[in-house]
Structure 1
Amino acid sequence: MSNVPTRSHGRKSIEPSLKPRDLMGGDDRLVRAWQAQVITLLPDAFPGMLGESLTGTALKDGLWQLHPVDLRSFGEGRHRNVDDTPAGGGAGMVLRPDVMGRAIDTARASMPDAAPLIYLSPRGARFDQVRARALAAGPGVTLICGRFEGLDQRVIDHYAIEELSIGDYILTGGEIAAQAVLDACVRLLPGVLGNAQSTVEESFSDGLLEHPQFTRPAAWRGASIPAVLTSGDHGAVDRWRREQSERLTRERRPDLWQARSGQD
């Protein structure tokens, strides 16, 4: 019998485990936990980094739950085929609509209606902090990880799937993108970071990049902490941080600076 203490969260208890995948808790759903589903050909890739550090602790503590959905189990025939050649010819393979449709129907049956269905795609809208906040404020999300040449367009149209991109580059699949999206959302959930102020003062919180950060020792290899940060003048500190955020945004992200200036 285990000597490890359990914690109660809603309708069930969770026992901490040293195995990352055990953190995901099978098919049991916790009351009030933010729910994340990932439809993927690589279910063993999860939780991955999401099982570490603050997101892993939050997963263990039942603040959120992660449910990988193995797309292969919905495949066709003895070999569980999930893809076929592109209509019209061309290189690569395309994920079949009948296979993905069965996976989506099964996955969505256990998710709240308000939880969006999102396909990680390089042609999607750019994922940003605003979208992360909106997702974190909801009941959860179902993410679809593409592979090969992508997903049959009829599936996207039929389910009105939202497409999201994490940047203007191509990955071998959507799993890394899915983990990035989930990390950005989970850290915003109440109780995950501990200090709610952390999410207010960071980059993109108000359309600006974050100001430089410093800590002890006061002097290191000939460089000192800016005097204003140790002055005790909180007003001066706030002004300095604001000026630095604006400077960095103008220099490094003129697109953000222009967008923000257009709102003023």
Structure 2
Amino acid sequence: MEDQDKRYAFPWGFHLGDLKKGSESMPLYTASSDGGFCLLYDKASEAKADNLLESLCLELLSTMPHESLKVDLFDFGKKKFYHLSPLQYIHLFQTAYNPEMMSTRFEALEEIIFSRYQELLCCHRPSISEHNQKSKLKQTYHLVLMNLENFPTDEIELRRINNFVESAAKAGVYIIAFGNQEIEESESENTQALLQNLKKLRITEGEFAITEEIFEFVELLKDHTFEPLDLQKSYIMQQILTNADLEKLLDPESIKLEENTKV
């Protein structure tokens, strides 16, 4: 049971890609303890950004225990993540694609965060990741993808955005914001609050700028090249769906996952 409980800890880092030097390869992670990050790109790099985000989500969903992680996308407009879409049918991925849905979903996530702080977190279990390693009643993690062009809106009070960002990670909610680099000029206080509270990864003309903020050992970049995460997404997605089917055959009482609120 101990090894299984360790699997319910949220990964210590987000896998962004690999450092290559000749035949050598080492994974590059950015710490998840920061609560997430912001991916900013120019127009020429949007497809690369989308590919990285989709690969990162699929890798997390495929390596963590089934249903221990759910992905929420705040976005409308053109469809970005085709390989995540089928996971809607097994409730691992959902999109809030208009202002009303975004507001409702944001409130639901706020309620999850608030209730976990009130009922579960304490000096012995200061985060949901630590709670999940000590409790038989596991809590679901959430990864929230926010398109900064669409969310947050000015209808949401600034204090709520600040509280959300500052409280989310310990409560098991992680944020990856993304958008065109032009969003940094936004006059929205809400958008600026997210930009100021999240570390930034930039892609310009298809090139990733790996800074010390993202990766502690930047000196490795002098003689290594960075290759962003690019998985065989159709295969990984099918693997997740297969695991979901297998899960139905197992004893549903073997591991309990709780949300604390209806979502």
- Does TM-score exceed 0.5, indicating one fold? no
Q: Which has the higher helix share?
A: 2
Q: TM-score, normalised by structure 2?
A: 0.26
Q: Which has the higher strand share?
A: 2
- Rg (Cα) greater in structure: 1
